[in-house]
Amino acid sequence: MANMKLLSVSVILASALISGCAPVLVGGAAITSATVMTDRRSTGSIVDDEVLEKRVRYEIGEVIGHDKHHIAVTSYEGKVLLTGEVLTSLDKERARVVATKSVGVNTVINELAVMDPSSVTTLLSDSMLATKVRSAIIGTENISLNQMKVTVQRGIVYLMGIVTPEEAKLASKVAAGVNGVQQVVTCFNVETKAAIDNRLKNLSHN
């Protein structure tokens, strides 16, 4: 059943990329139409970001090795954030170069730390913290989790998305107030409310 499910997801995504009209997939699960309608990216951009995250991580692994490091790749409208740990400064630079050259990448933010990979305990703690931060954002008026991605590494929270200056400030404040958060790093694409309204008006989520 697992292999059949994986195959069906792959076929759907491949068909979507060919046709240019795709269902939105995150972590192998389809996003609801309500979520897509409130996302400030186009449907194509949402799918492109998901593909970028997987491809860039694979391409980096092919250059510096798939073992002995922990790298997370997060993409938002072609802006790629690299987080996690690599063993050497050379590996960190190689990862940046690979990501920069990858098709569809506009900007690379290299937040990789040169150190031993995080332990399983740390990874679990970061996963739980990310859930807490997302819950805090969901529970706050005037900001929406649908407009951003939350990544946590070693207690450091990274926020990406398309937001107004006011939303960026509020999201950062909310994340910083969550117990266990060591630092908040914002990687937002900040736009005026008028620009975002115009963006939404022009979006097609068919």
CA separation, residue 16 to residues 34, 43, 114 (Å): 19, 11, 38
Residues with Cβ within 8 Å of residue 5, at least 6 apart in sequence: 28
Segment among 30-44, 109-123, 125-139, 151-165 with least mean pLDDT = 30-44
First to last CA, the chain: 30
Q: What domains can you pick out in the chain, each with its CATH number?
A: 2-114 (3.30.300), 120-194 (3.30.1340.30)
pLDDT, tens digit (0-9, with 9 covering 90-100), for 177-200: 999 999 999 999 999 999 999 998
pLDDT, tens digit (0-9, with 9 covering 90-100), for 99-111: 999 999 999 999 9
Q: For 175-199, b where at least 16 C-beta lie within 10 A, e where not — what string?
A: beebeebeebbbbbbbbeeeebeee
d(CA 102, CA 95): 11
pLDDT at 17 over 90: no
Beta bridge partners of 149: 160
